[in-house]
Amino acid sequence: MALLEINREECIGCEACVAACPFGALHMDAERKAVVDDKCTACGACIDVCPVGALSLPEVEAPAAGLDQYKGVWVWVEQLQGEAGSISWEMIGKGRELADQRQTTLTACVLGHHVEHIAQQAIAYGADRVILVDDPVLKHYRTEPYAAVLVDLIRQYKPEIFILGASTRGRDLAGAVATEIFTGLTADCTGLDIDPETGLLRQTRPAFGGNIMATIICPNHRPQMATVRHRVFEMPTPDETRRGEIIRVNPHLDEEAIASKVVDFIREEGQVNLADARIIVSGGRGVGGPEGFEPIRRLAEVLGGAVGASRAAVDAGWIPYAHQVGQTGRTVRPDLYIACGISGAIQHLAGMQTSRVIVAINKDPEAPIFKIANYGIVGDLFQVLPALTEEFRKRLRK
Ligand SMILES: Cc1cc2nc3c(=O)[nH]c(=O)nc-3n(C[C@H](O)[C@H](O)[C@H](O)COP(=O)(O)OP(=O)(O)OC[C@H]3O[C@@H](n4cnc5c(N)ncnc54)[C@H](O)[C@@H]3O)c2cc1C
């Protein structure tokens, strides 16, 4: 629903607002009065040009009272069957930086069953303290009990900033918690830092199909919440000598009161783990069809890497979505990314441009991918890839 308010009594039908609207959200109705539709972004461009002041936006909400009681940076440490996800350590690394900038403490929230060892790991990775909630009901991730526990903890301890990895579970949990706490949440951030003047968390993420980077703040509610994708931040180095406080919380959860039940847990076979791969060989529309991924797979196999793909190749049905790299696929940060027959659209780059070394193979010397590649090979991938594979096979003795 559009936020813009139009006073029909005042409107003189001059159409100045229609001409000024950058989104085409205003038009005149049969009575020559301005009307607005859902394309309105509340940018305010029309308000300035209305000669009779007939247009307005609601007053900006005042900050909720008591925001200064909220202190500290929190990170949710997710785990699967007692093993912490590396995405959480990346969040701890960034959380440490943010806490240092705010001169405050970094708290890790560890939820699960038999997960005390993860609390120790969180301290080694940089947390000052850990809130450990160990309960059989929390053995498997479920939205209801996990969100309920975190909401209670947030209400009790009042953190200023709360960040979670943008994994499937992190996205689910962050939305559930933010809705219940009634605070803002920026999903899939690519950058987080502290505004030196206001102390607010600046949350940067791609917007408008990846064509601009938007920096979002949450000045009126707490905690300021954000999720960040895997591999966006560096993995910190653990320091086993670090010491911290562990606060054990008993949540009194009642299994009978929870609607969802875990019947069984079955690991998916042949899962592609792009996020953790050190080497990725990716194919795009240039591979020409599903069989075009064969030379890609052969090189990936010789190098011990994973196979990635552009959205064009996935949309064409040549390879499953799990392989897609980019804004609407996986974010990856391998040591070596070999892009084959991929032009280098901004949405693809959004998922791989922080790779340590990028090699591009493309027959078009003007392809944009060469602008960000460390090494570029201009040529037909069906000639270049077999030659490379053969050479690596010899050198790696495979
Ligand atoms: C909202 C949104 C989200 C998106 N999300 C993603 C995303 O997550 N990931 C993603 O990848 N894209 C995404 N896209 C799509 C993106 O804009 C591009 O359309 C897509 O990345 C193009 O894929 P491509 O480079 O494989 O194909 P093309 O752009 O068609 O490029 C093919 C390349 O192959 C080269 N080539 C052809 N034959 C050969 C050969 N024999 N040898 C060597 N080179 C050859 C050509 O010179 C060309 O450069 C998104 C788009 C939108 C609007």
- Per residue, the 3-state secondary structure of 186-218, as one string, reads EEEECEEEECCCCCCEEEEEEECCCCEEEEECC
Q: How many angstroms is it from 210 CA to the middle of ligand 1?
A: 14
- What's the pLDDT tens digit per position in 141-196? 999 999 999 999 999 999 999 999 999 999 999 999 999 999 999 999 989 999 99
φ, ψ of residue 377 to 5 degrees: the values are -120, 115
pLDDT of 1: 64
Domain with residue 18: its CATH number is: 3.30.70.20
Q: Are residues 41 and 21 in the same domain?
A: yes
pLDDT of residue 60: 64
Percent of the chain residues topping a pLDDT of 70 = 97
Helix pair 381-395, 294-303: axis angle to 10 deg: 20
Q: Which of 85-89, 217-221, 272-276, 358-362 has the lowest mean pLDDT?
A: 272-276
Q: Is the pLDDT of residue 63 over 70?
A: no
Confidence bin at 231 (pLDDT 50/70/90) = confident
Does 301 fall in a domain?
yes
Task: Quickly state the pLDDT bin for 62 (edges 50, 70, 90).
Answer: low
Residue 269 maps to a domain: no
227 and 80: one domain? yes
Residue nearest atom 38 in ligand 1 by C-alpha distance: 286
- Substitution site in 327, 369, 381, 382 for ligand 1 pocket (most atoms within 8 Å of beta carbon): 327
What pLDDT is attached to residue 58? 78
Q: Note the pLDDT of residue 174.
A: 98
Question: With pLDDT > 90 as the criterion, what percentage of the chain qualifies?
Answer: 84
pLDDT of residue 43: 85
- 52 and 71 both lie in a single domain: no
* 191, 48: one domain: no
- Can you give the CATH number for the domain in which 323 is found? 3.40.50.1220
Q: pTM above the 0.75 mark?
A: no
Give per-residue pLDDT as tens, 359-386: 999 999 999 999 999 999 999 999 999 9
How many structural domains is the chain composed of?
3
In a domain, 256, yes or no: no
Domain membership flag for residue 12:
yes
Residues 217 and 85 placed together within one structural domain of the fold: yes
CA of 362 to the centre of ligand 1 (A): 11
Alpha carbon of 280 to ligand 1 centroid (Å): 16
Q: Is residue 261 part of a domain?
A: no
Predicted confidence at residue 267, as pLDDT, reads 75
Q: Is residue 143 part of a domain?
A: yes
Task: State the DSSP H helix or E strand holding residue 91, giving kind and residue range, or none if neither.
Answer: helix 86-101
The answer to whether residues 79 and 179 belong to one domain is yes
189 and 306 both lie in a single domain: no
Section 273-283 average pLDDT:
91
Q: Distance (Å, rounded) from C-alpha 379 to C-alpha 108?
A: 49
Q: Name which residue sits closest to atom 19 of ligand 1, judged by CA.
A: 312
Query: Which residues have C-beta atoms less than 6 Å from ligand 1?
Result: 209, 284-286, 310-313, 324, 326-329, 341-343, 345, 347-348, 351, 361-364, 367, 380-382
- Mean pLDDT, the chain, whole residue set: 94
Distance 282 CA to ligand 1 centre (A): 11
Find the 143 Cα to ligand 1 centroid distance in Å: 36
pLDDT of residue 77: 98
Nearest atom of ligand 1 to the alpha carbon of 381: 42
398 confidence band (pLDDT: 50, 70, 90): low
pLDDT average, residue stretch 38-44 = 86
- Are 235 and 384 contained in the same domain? no
- Which atom of ligand 1 is nearest the CA belonging to 382? 41
CATH of the domain at 140: 3.40.50.620
User: Which protein residue's CA is at the shortest distance from atom 9 of ligand 1?
Assistant: 326
Alpha carbon nearest to ligand 1 atom 50, residue:
347
Does one domain contain both 387 and 347? yes
pLDDT higher than threshold 90 for residue 131:
yes
Quick check: is 291 in a domain? yes
- Ligand 1 midpoint to CA 46 (Å): 38
Range of the domain at 35: 5-56
Q: Is residue 201 part of a domain?
A: yes
Probe target for ligand 1 pocket from 362, 377, 381, with the most ligand atoms within 8 Å of CB: 362
Q: Assess whether 240 and 332 both reside in one domain.
A: no
Say how many CA atoms lie within 13 Å of 248 toward its Cβ: 9
Q: Are residues 246 and 347 in the same domain?
A: no
Q: For residue 98, is it left (φ>0), alpha (ψ between -120 and 50) or beta?
A: alpha
Same domain for 300 and 210, yes or no, is no
Q: Residue 269: what pLDDT?
A: 65
- Closest by CA to 251, choosing from 146, 128, 141, 140, is 146
At 17 the pLDDT is: 95
Question: In this predicted structure, what is the pLDDT of residue 209?
Answer: 67
